[in-house]
Structure 1
């Protein structure tokens, strides 16, 4: 009788171990995977600004972390996502309009989804920091994947008068996963 009990206990122990191993793999499948993308900003013709952009989707929006160098010292610049992921056509003019959902462009005085905000270059022409963009995402209809992100010559002063005129791009990169 003792041999049968030990056999059942061993079988139960083996079954428990097998279930434990099988379920531990579920943690990898069901854990929260961050959505991450990045872009390498390269200078447009006649400019020297360059840098990296990392985008991480969070619960409160997409965190856009930037590290950009070779900008004019002590200057402010608009950082914008544009419709097409085309940096080749950028030769002093925008390759495409600022990213916006259909119908949003009709609000000429309103802020568009692709207008991420302004960044400031320090005395060395370097800007590092982050912006939380609440109007974009890394998937779905508001996705910025495969779109161009551009650093513009001017800052966005106001969204009430000519909000989208921020001058030519100093640097451009395509957002990729």
Structure 2
């Protein structure tokens, strides 16, 4: 009886070791100079890609904006010299219509708020396609899905660094 209980306790500890731990990261977006947009973004890696959940406020009412990930995790010099949108160097050499870091567009409602999610299939939270320690920016203009690279989405309204 005691041996069975001891074995049961030992095996239940193994369950903790072999549980499926979710890969998760967050970014707190702060307004860039002269702007008011702010919010939080949570990234969770799933089988079909990274789910990017956002809760943003203080954007212009009834407006659309691009959500992009940039190469460097620098939000200080964002208005002076933002780093390029994240893409693998092999993808950057191709004439692709969308870069890995171009997550999609966000729509602000009549109060200037936006809540929702995007599934980014071309990125991850580890390895060569990792978004960790990169800058996440909400831009003034939306992405044009029909445009050829490079995409001009205007200056960043807010910025945050993606952290585990």
Indicate whether the TM-score tops 0.5.
yes
TM-score under structure 2 length normalisation: 0.96
Query: Which residue, out of 111, 116, 122, partners 2:98?
Result: 111
- State how far apart, in whole Å, the 1-side matches of 2:78 and 2:150 are: 20
1:159-174 equivalences in 2 (<5 Å): 159-174=146-161
Q: CA deviation at 1:35?
A: 0.7
**Are 2:135 and 1:148 equivalent residues in the alignment?**
yes
Unaligned runs of 5+ in 1: 1-12
1:81 maps onto 2:69 in alignment = yes
Structure 2 equivalent of residue 45 of structure 1:
33
- Structure 1 residues 136 and 89: CA distance shift in structure 2, 3 A: same
Counterpart residue number, 2:15 = 27
Q: What are the Cα deviations for residues 128-163 of structure 1, in whole angstroms up to 9, with x where unaligned? A: 100000011111111000000000000011243345
Provide structure 2 residue ranges, at least 5 long, that are not aligned to the other structure: none
| Preserved contact between residue 62 and residue 107 of structure 2 (Cα < 8 Å) | yes
TM-score by length of 1: 0.89
Report the structure number with the largest CA radius of gyration: 1
Alpha-carbon separation, structure 2, partners of 1:142 and 1:19: 42
Superposed CA deviations along residues 31-82 of structure 1, whole A, max 9, x for unmatched, are: 1111110000000011000000000111111100001101011000000000
User: CA-atom RMSD, angstroms?
Assistant: 1.2
What is the number of equivalent residue pairs in this alignment? 164
**CA–CA separation in structure 1 for the residues paired with 2:140 and 2:42:** 21
Closer/same/farther in 2, CA of residues 99 and 130 from structure 1, 3 Å limit = same
Residue 134 (str. 1) matches residue 121 (str. 2) = yes
1:2-53 Cα deviation digits (max 9, x unpaired): xxxxxxxxxxx22111111011001111011111100000000110000000
The whole-number CA distance in structure 2 between the counterparts of 1:145 and 1:109 is 23
